[in-house]
Chain A
Amino acid sequence: MTDVDDLPCDELVELVTDYLEGALDTSERARFEAHLVTCEGCRAYLEQVRLTVRMLAHLPAEDLSPPAREHVLEAFRAWRAGAGEG
């Protein structure tokens, strides 16, 4: 029997970001967490979102190309020559 207060899964997935951001109010968060206890699918979904964020955080950054980097350093030397010692 479905509890009338149970958060359906198709609503939970729309609240995931608010949950992770701490933007749900107390009762919303309670409903959210109560649903997670009994719903393996939603637990897996939340974990997928968490893993997605974790992978995004681990993407390596590329470097500025050597000519671009040199251009920037030359601009520094020109600036230093123009401005004098600070």
Chain B
Amino acid sequence: MDYMGFIIAIFLPWVLGVACLKAIWTNKQEYSLAMFIGYGYLFGIIATILFIWLWDAAGFKQHFWLQSTLLITATAFLYWLHRKNTWQTTTQRWRNQEVWEKFLWLLFFVLVAIRLSAIFQEILLRPLYPWDAWWHYAPPARIWSYWQELTPIIHPDNWLSSGDPKIYTLDAWSKPLGIPLINYWTISGIGHWDDILMNLPWFLCVLALGFGMYGQLRLVHIAPLHSIIAVYLLLSMPLLDTHVELAGYADIWLATCYGFAAMSLMLWLKNRNPAQLIVFIILSAAAPIFKIPGIYWSLTLLPVLILSLMSNRHRLYAIIICIAILLAFFLIGGINLNLPYIGAHSLTYHDVWASVAKNLLVFDNWHLYWYLLPVAMFFGFKKEFRDVLDMAGFVLIFINLFFLYMVFFWTEKYIWALDSTTINRATLHLMPIFVFTTIVLLRKNNRLHGSTANNFVPTGTNTTPT
């Protein structure tokens, strides 16, 4: 095994991503190191995927060391270019907390570490296991690593008449390239096929998810203790853990990408930091490279953006219109849609409440989260949306729940609710932003949360944040 190549394949995207974020982050804006670490990995993975794809589109043969050299050069250049950027840490200092807060912070940190340690060991021992992973996402990587190019994968009907040994057919012919390219990149670094080490990016993804969410919560001025509790709540969810331990599926990546995009949108609505807006745009556009439903999830952020910027009166009108349309569906008894790319869908009501309730409230997919959510939404409502974050959070939850409702109650996808398959994987995509929003809604507005005041520290250099 090529150890150097493996280390570069694993960590270069991370370093590259942080460099990209530093380039985006406007001078003298608030920042959080944890947020940079978390978002940086996702940015780096996306940049690496795009780089490999563009390289192939330009007609070049894949070459790991040449590509790595160029990426390392780009990374170094970005760091050098923005070496004089300075940012502000405005967050409450960890060390200024009460003793009990520090104790609990460490407790939850240790609990997260214990969880991740079990996951890490499982990933490093078990060969590729879940179905879609070895059927959709791993085979293209293996094929490309053999041929050193992104050979075409075509529809089965066309393969039989093809005859070319370089043209393959898999179900993956219709899937996005994101996950196969992540696999391919890692295998390229290793130097040979290894469907165990290939799964390490899934662990790094959940690590990045934890860091990113923690950092963004700190930028909302949520206290360190509450931020680490939010990370614990998210990373302790059994189905999320399962998707990392049985690595290979695209869902955790989409959850991270969509979650980060939505968090950035909310932070921009709050602070008008242009960097957050840029991050939101990039990640929303990137979500579909992991999974096709990323398109729909990204589109749900548009109404969040629009409604959050509306005045209260216009927002009320918009909500009334939505309710009126929904009532019309009920009265008509269904409608058939035939939309480009989305295809034909018959919108007819299916009563799957029992199955949905079972998956959200009875099974242990999400622990007690779905019992907490109504409480959080009640608190958000009670605060009368004086803060734009509360408004955006409430709207986001409402729109996403509405979207899930339409998909699983009004389309033929109700089958996936009945057999407990896609309903949970679709819900997983929402969990990071839902947990983030829950903590935001539960926070007290317009005052500092936690035991001590914020220590606002305008800095002249990149200081270590809390």
A interacts with B = no
A-binding residues in B (CB < 8 A): none
B-binding residues in A (CB < 8 A): none
